[in-house]
Chains A and B, each alone.
Chain A
Amino acid sequence: MARAILFDSTQCVGCKACEEACATKWGNPYDEKVAAEERVSSHKLTAVRTFGEHYSRKLCMHCLEPSCASVCPVGALEKTALGPVVYDESKCMGCRYCMVACPFQVPSYEWDSRLPRVKKCDGCFERQSKGQPTACTEACPTGATICGDREELIAEARKRIAENPGQYYNHIYGLEEVGGTSVLMLSAVPFEQIGMPGGLPKDALPERTWAVLSHIPDVAGLGAVLLGGVYWITHRRDEVAKAERAEASKEKENVR
């Protein structure tokens, strides 16, 4: 049973209780100054952002087929069966390809540290594996953020849109974006207007690189055979020419 988070922007009042709960969970400092930062960073793994009268949350989307986990050369990022995408800092060498690859621009880096780590929301993997809700869900006073089984949350989202068509923009963000995500969002306005990247392809992005990478054994095998063949032919030509020359000179001597 894969867990997911549903964030309903129409119910969010911008109280930032989720931010504080997240900071507490990670042991990050949280004060008015941090609260005012409307972006995720290495010390703030979820951020409530204001867009006029609408609020939205930025956090790791926990893609079903995450680009970050796909590009990580050491497998430090991993999509768990439970849903969250987790990070193992003991493997990470700091190439930052995950940050480049993330279509939602989520992972952050400890730029000022001498031994930096990647920081991102881990979907409260430990809490969820014990059956507890995520820290942000628990803290949310309005129920704008809830967590549960992904299929059930999709059904719930559909129900909300169907029951209040005037209240919602008719789209569940994360249902199909980049192959689907484990964080789903509802909004009153188009999602670009609350800071979510629009126009994302529906295919899982890792498939685009895998389409090329999966041909590597073919290229290597074919290349070895081809190059070996070319070598044999080009050098065989030399040998034949040499043999013919030797033959010719021998014949010349015989004639004499």
Chain B
Amino acid sequence: MTGTVRLPRITFWRTVFWFIMAAAVYATYVRFVDGLGSSTNLSDEFPWGIWIGFDVLCGVALAAGGFTLAATVHIFNIEKYKPIVRPAILTAFLGYLLVVVALMFDLGRPYRIWHPLIMWNPHSVMFEVGWCVTLYSTVLSLEFAPVVFERFGWRTPLRYVKAIMIPLVIAGVILSTLHQSSLGTLYLILPTKLHALWYSPMLPVMFFVSAIALGLAMTIFESWHSSRAFGRHLELPLLSSLGRVLAVLMLFYLCLRFLDLGKRGVLNLLTVGSIETYLFGLEIALLLTPTFLLFWPRVRQSPLALYLSAVMVVLGMIVNRLNVSITGMERGSGVSYIPAWTEVAVTLGIIAAGFAIFRLAVQHLPIFEEEEKDEPVSAPVYQMAGALGD
């Protein structure tokens, strides 16, 4: 002990992080003091921007790994995936919390965010999404609770939560199925506004299938990053087999997309040189390339290739959600929308906060540690509890 305070090292990413956070704090001030008009480029013609299109639509979809892996391990009993359930649930839990934060920015009167819970309108997709997200966030907090209980050695609550884990996971899967698809249903009422390349009666199904694929891709993505950041061993065989499932799922999703385009007779739109066609091309290229790559065993065996394929899936799905919610809506709305710096700053701030909280959680909670098999509490804690009891 020298008594000197050790200052945190200044690294490139830390500098970026604090720069983003400073911008986000100022943007937050502008948003809540001057209102939505000063802080966004939204208008009567274009009332939803990136806070809905990216933060909410992409945020919810990126968090889909939670219910996918919880179901795989707890319901389908495929035990080998157990080591990656906790990081997936942490991502999901964080994801939903951040979606709610983003909503607080976007809602005109955020203090009324609870209104849908008591003022019902069952005909509204938004009402259903509101309920599902509220309930699923509660489910996620309970699915995540064992991690915290284990950390502090709270055995009784741990026993209670574990006793209801299966019904919880089942509820989580159903709630996720409902609202992941409902985010697509949101756009079904806009046949005249959403571009024909994306408007489809199949939107709910496509949003659901793509969310599962995205959840798997995110699991590969975060495992790779965690293994680098924390010097952990990478569960490569596990992630490779996840990559194979992802490839099959992506192929199914892409077939669905093109069959739908063919059935609706809008494939000829692809020959028109419009901005929508190019964005559609970008989206499909980002989704098709990793699908082919992942069918190739050598790609799945290489950590870097597997990671890059997952990144492409993530980017492709983000482009898809943005096409549905923003770029595909511009022509039908008759205006063009480019987010204000304040909108971008808040979004980046939320992403940066997500990374930072994930890192903190992994450092301080048993996220990547092997879950105890039979004894709910690890031996040292057990002994400590015994010593305290005496």
- Is B112 a contact of A93 with CB atoms below 8 Å? yes
- The smallest C-beta distance from B74 to any residue of chain A, in angstroms, reads 8
Most buried by A among B47, B48, B186, B192: B47
Binds B, one of A151-159, A161-169, A223-231: A223-231
Binds B, one of A7-15, A71-79, A129-137, A186-194: A71-79
Q: Contact partner of B189 among A76, A116, A209, CB < 8 A?
A: A209
Most buried by A among B38, B106, B124, B128: B124
Q: How far is the CA of A107 from the CA of B75 in the complex (A)?
A: 46
Q: Contact partner of A74 among B34, B115, B188, CB < 8 A?
A: B115
CB-defined contacts of B107 to chain A, threshold 8 Å: 93-95
- Is B47 a contact of A75 with CB atoms below 8 Å? no
- Is B108 a contact of A74 with CB atoms below 8 Å? no
CB-defined contacts of B75 to chain A, threshold 8 Å: 227, 230-231, 234
- Is A228 a contact of B170 with CB atoms below 8 Å? yes
CB-defined contacts of B126 to chain A, threshold 8 Å: 71-73, 95, 97
Q: Contact partner of A101 among B42, B115, B127, B190, CB < 8 A?
A: B190
- Is A205 a contact of B189 with CB atoms below 8 Å? yes
- The smallest C-beta distance from A51 to any residue of chain B, in angstroms, reads 15
- Is A116 a contact of B109 with CB atoms below 8 Å? yes
- Is A213 a contact of B47 with CB atoms below 8 Å? no
Binds A, one of B171-179, B289-297, B364-372: B171-179
Q: Mark B26-57, 1 if CB is under 8 A from A, else 0.
A: 00000011111110001111011000000000
- Is B109 a contact of A208 with CB atoms below 8 Å? no
- The smallest C-beta distance from B149 to any residue of chain A, in angstroms, reads 23
Chain B, Cβ-Cβ closest to A117: B108
- The smallest C-beta distance from A123 to any residue of chain B, in angstroms, reads 19
Q: How far is the CA of A11 from the CA of B337 in the complex (A)?
A: 37
Q: Contact partner of A75 among B48, B119, B186, B193, CB < 8 A?
A: B119
- The smallest C-beta distance from A125 to any residue of chain B, in angstroms, reads 19
Q: How far is the CA of A95 from the CA of B122 in the complex (A)?
A: 16
- Is A220 a contact of B178 with CB atoms below 8 Å? yes
- B311 near A: Cβ within 8 Å? no
- Is A208 a contact of B191 with CB atoms below 8 Å? yes
Given contacts A73-B126, A231-B166, contact A206 B44 (CB under 8 A): no
CB-defined contacts of B37 to chain A, threshold 8 Å: 111-113
- B385 near A: Cβ within 8 Å? no
CB-defined contacts of A115 to chain B, threshold 8 Å: 108-109
CB interface residues, A 189-212, toward B, < 8 Å: 197, 199-201, 205-206, 208-210, 212
Q: How far is the CA of A97 from the CA of B113 in the complex (A)?
A: 14
- The smallest C-beta distance from B84 to any residue of chain A, in angstroms, reads 19
Q: Contact partner of B108 among A75, A105, A116, A224, CB < 8 A?
A: A116
CB-defined contacts of A109 to chain B, threshold 8 Å: 36, 44, 47, 108
- Is A71 a contact of B170 with CB atoms below 8 Å? no
Q: Mark B52-81, 1 if CB is under 8 A from A, else 0.
A: 000000000000000000010011110000
- Is A105 a contact of B333 with CB atoms below 8 Å? yes
Chain A contributes a number of interface residues (CB within 8 A of B) equal to 57
- B204 near A: Cβ within 8 Å? yes
Q: How far is the CA of A114 from the CA of B33 in the complex (A)?
A: 7
Q: Contact partner of A111 among B35, B122, B125, B201, CB < 8 A?
A: B35
- A108 near B: Cβ within 8 Å? yes
Q: Contact partner of B178 among A74, A113, A210, A219, CB < 8 A?
A: A219
Q: Contact partner of A212 among B36, B76, B124, B185, CB < 8 A?
A: B185
- The smallest C-beta distance from B356 to any residue of chain A, in angstroms, reads 28
- Is B108 a contact of A201 with CB atoms below 8 Å? no
- Is B44 a contact of A108 with CB atoms below 8 Å? yes
Most buried by B among A114, A201, A238: A114
CB-defined contacts of B36 to chain A, threshold 8 Å: 109, 111, 116
CB interface residues, B 99-152, toward A, < 8 Å: 106-110, 112-113, 115-116, 119-130
CB-defined contacts of B109 to chain A, threshold 8 Å: 92-94, 115-116
- The smallest C-beta distance from A250 to any residue of chain B, in angstroms, reads 22
- Is B170 a contact of A91 with CB atoms below 8 Å? no
Q: Mark B235-256, 1 if CB is under 8 A from A, else 0.
A: 0000000000000000000000
Given contacts A93-B113, A103-B192, A238-B77, contact A209 B174 (CB under 8 A): no
Q: How far is the CA of A101 from the CA of B127 in the complex (A)?
A: 14
Most buried by A among B35, B110, B333: B35
Q: How far is the CA of A223 from the CA of B181 in the complex (A)?
A: 14
Given contacts A114-B35, A197-B192, contact A219 B174 (CB under 8 A): yes
CB-defined contacts of B188 to chain A, threshold 8 Å: 208-209, 212
Given contacts A93-B108, A95-B107, contact A107 B44 (CB under 8 A): yes
- Is A94 a contact of B174 with CB atoms below 8 Å? no
CB-defined contacts of A105 to chain B, threshold 8 Å: 44-45, 333-334
- Is A71 a contact of B44 with CB atoms below 8 Å? no
Q: How far is the CA of A101 from the CA of B178 in the complex (A)?
A: 21
- The smallest C-beta distance from B387 to any residue of chain A, in angstroms, reads 35
Report A's interface with B, CB cutoff 8 A. Answer: 40-42, 67, 70-76, 91-97, 99-101, 103, 105, 107-109, 111-117, 197, 199-201, 205-206, 208-210, 212-213, 216, 219-220, 223-224, 227-228, 230-231, 234-235, 237-238
29 A–B contacts, CB within 8 A, in A order: A40-B44, A71-B125, A72-B121, A72-B126, A73-B121, A75-B124, A76-B119, A93-B116, A94-B108, A95-B126, A96-B47, A105-B333, A111-B44, A113-B35, A200-B192, A208-B191, A209-B123, A209-B125, A210-B123, A212-B125, A212-B182, A213-B123, A213-B125, A213-B182, A220-B174, A220-B178, A223-B173, A227-B170, A231-B170
For the complex of A and B, the 7 pairs showing the least CB-CB separation, nearest first, are A94-B108, A111-B37, A234-B77, A93-B112, A73-B126, A73-B127, A96-B47
